[in-house]
Structure 1
Amino acid sequence: MFSVYNSYSSLVSALYNYLIGVFSYYYLAVLSVVLFLFISYRFPYCYSPYLFSVFLLTVVFSCFISMFFRRVCSNFEEFFSGFVPVGTPLYICPLVCLAETISFLIRPFVLIFRPFINISLGCFGAVALSNFCFTNSIWLLILCLVFFYEVFVALVHWFIVTNILAFSIDH
């Protein structure tokens, strides 16, 4: 009746129950690696555009493709019926289906390009601001504020990637 949890297992269980919920712990591990990479790029000398693009293509894109194949292979009709939401009037069904198809085709590009562009620009912007620190010390305060802003941006992009992948299960 009473289970003993340490702080790590209760944290993982809370993340699993509130954020992931419908996936396995393996998926939680993959998303934790994505979060760690997004956060680690906020620190100096950790950013590599090549490694980041390869990571996004191999991990994030492959997660999307694997969920796509899982849905298509498990239930073909349910996958395509998800392109027309329940309750859609018949006269706009073709347009809604077209819009949902375009949305589904754009999702993998959003998963790759959006974090790459925004996190890369944040890294390059922090480098440009850090060069100003040599001229005036007020720039160091601004750089600290930019650091916390960029950590927030990294968390938001992780949340976006997680939600797009979660939304791809049903649509």
Structure 2
Amino acid sequence: MDQTSSYPVELYIYDLSRGMARQLSPLMLGRELDGIWHTGIVVHGKEFFFMAEGIHNCRPGGTTMGQPDAILGLGSTEVPEDLFMEYLASLEESTYRCGTYNLFEHNCNTFSNEVAQFLTGQTIPPNITDLPSEVLSTPFGQALRPILDSVAINPGGNNITGQR
């Protein structure tokens, strides 16, 4: 009889602003933001995330941002590690290649959302995925867009394919 293993899947959530978004957003955007979110998916003992140089991983909570501000359980997966790594390698060859990162449209949160759906069938919270459009819907967000479009988040870690 074939035994299927189940592996927990978690979303690690980091506030890149370290609390400043909550303080400054009412003045700058006219509404309060809880944070500026970076996320990573934790499964098979590693944290996986997307940045300008592609898909990376590290030990859970091992990014340069330190410990996450929140950890959200997304359920579990039956996808074994070798198949998951093949899936990530195919994503890095296509959708999440080095140089395809965009702070507003193609970022760590879009990656986490896609991977969460692959592993568990669940999406990550909409307050995280909707944040870019929320910011861009304000006059200040529109004014900052040309500057912010050039921003790439680099939390460290190792490239999954070993390439840079």
Larger RCO (alpha carbons 8 Å, 6+ apart): 1
**Pairwise same-fold verdict (TM > 0.5):** no
TM-score band (shorter)?
Answer: under 0.3
Q: What's the TM-score, normalizing by structure 2?
A: 0.27
